[in-house]
Amino acid sequence: MTSSLQSTEERILKAAKKVFHRKGFEGARMQEIADEAGINKALLHYYFRSKENLFEAVFRDAFLELTGYAKTVFLSDNPIKEKIHKFLGYYIAILNENSYIPWFILNAIYTRPGTMKAIFDNAELNPPELMAHLQHQIKTEYGSEINPFHMWLNVLSLSIFPVIAKPLIREIFQLPEDAYKQILEQRKTEVPQFIANALKGYEQSDSMIE
């Protein structure tokens, strides 16, 4: 039953993901990860010396995956509306399956800020480049000097918050899982539309200028 399709290390990482994503560093138990991986607890320490190490590996994976795609999309050559649409599609798809990820990332940053800095630096996000790119694109497509940072932050907010807040909103509105899935599905088209409309609005009344 050792299912050697995956190496032990892969099995551990997969199990660690599952547990850390749902419970964070403090809430996760090494024993639970071992059980989830179907191995002995000692073997966990054999592969990853400490809880800290294992957590870092899990965080790195999640962080690089999320930022990696965002970087690709935002720096691509598509028109803005298309970018936003792709971004939303990707995130909603991924996060529908694994909706704990953004919470997990935030959690890690809040509770273990020191540990994370090295990983940030590794991600090579180059924000100035991104901002310059967006600013240029906004000017070309909409003839407007909208502050690209606020624009970018708006896109992120509209994409990610509804996923993070899912359990809260589901509880408040008494929505079943499927209903919320459908709402997120709608947002794949609604949000780009919403933002495009806002951008049109700026053509007449310029604001959002720093």
Per CB under 7 A, residues contacting DNA are 2, 8, 28-31, 38-43, 45-47, 49-52
Closest approach of DNA to the CB of residue 143, in Å: 56
* Binding flag, residue 190, a second copy (CB under 8 A): yes
* Binding flag, residue 160, a second copy (CB under 8 A): yes
69 binds, among DNA, a second copy, none (CB under 5 to 8 A by kind): none
Closest approach of DNA to the CB of residue 113, in Å: 18
Determine which residue in the list 110, 118, 124, 177 makes contact with a second copy, applying CB under 8 A: 110
Is residue 119 within 8 Å of 66, Cβ to Cβ?
A: no
| Count of CB atoms situated within 10 Å of the CB of 59 | 23
**What is residue 86's three-state secondary structure?**
helix
Is residue 58 within 8 Å of 17, Cβ to Cβ?
A: yes
* Binding flag, residue 158, a second copy (CB under 8 A): yes
Calculate ∠ Cα 198-203-205, nearest 5°: 85
User: Which 9-48 positions form the footprint of a second copy (CB under 8 A)?
Assistant: 22-24, 26-27
5: DSSP letter: T
